[in-house]
Structure 1
Amino acid sequence: MPRTLILKNIPDELYKRLKASAEAHRRSLNNEVIVCLETVLRLERISVEERLAQARALRSSLPKDKFQPQDIDSLKRKGRPGLW
């Protein structure tokens, strides 16, 4: 049975980040908080082998000619100004 949880004294910066994340994911603030909590407090831990299998399955499902390593590196650098 779902429960109600009331959060108090949320720091302004955290609230702004949650709200922005909810908007970016097209979710309500409530649903965004639930997703964040589920992600952090996941009851089922995925083994390293399972995580690798998921990553390999995702990689093999991507178009081979679209994602070259040098293109990915370039895009990562663009998304992380000042780190390269």
Structure 2
Amino acid sequence: MAKTLTLKNLPDALHARLSAAAKRHRRSLNNEAIVCLEAGLEAEIPSVDEELARIRALRESLGPHIFDPDEIDAFKREGRP
């Protein structure tokens, strides 16, 4: 069963963006808000294990690199006057 949601204190800029999107998509303001909520809530949020696996794979793809102290100092000073 459908429920009703009332939004309070909606910033003017956000209302304007939502209204413009509704006009662009030829939807009512209400339907545009529903579509935006559905799109935002349907986005898959990775689990901690999935995110850690992605990070590990990225680290492995970069390969090992050991910085020596002089190299670290050079990086810190790079771009400084």
TM-score range, shorter chain: 0.5 to 0.7
Q: How many residues align?
A: 44
- Amino-acid identity (%): 61
Identify the structure with bigger relative contact order (alpha carbons < 8 Å, sequence gap 6+).
2
* TM-score, scaled to structure 2: 0.52
For residue 36 of structure 1, what is the amino acid of its counterpart?
C
Q: Which secondary structure state, in structure 2, belongs to the residue aligned with residue 41 of structure 1?
A: helix
Unaligned runs of 5+ in 1: 46-84
For residue 14 of structure 1, what is the amino acid of its counterpart?
L
Question: In the alignment, which residue of structure 2 is the partner of 1:27?
Answer: 27
Question: In the alignment, which residue of structure 1 is the partner of 2:10?
Answer: 10
Alignment RMSD (CA, Å): 1.1
| C-alpha displacement of 1:19 | 0.1
For residue 30 of structure 2, what is the amino acid of its counterpart?
N
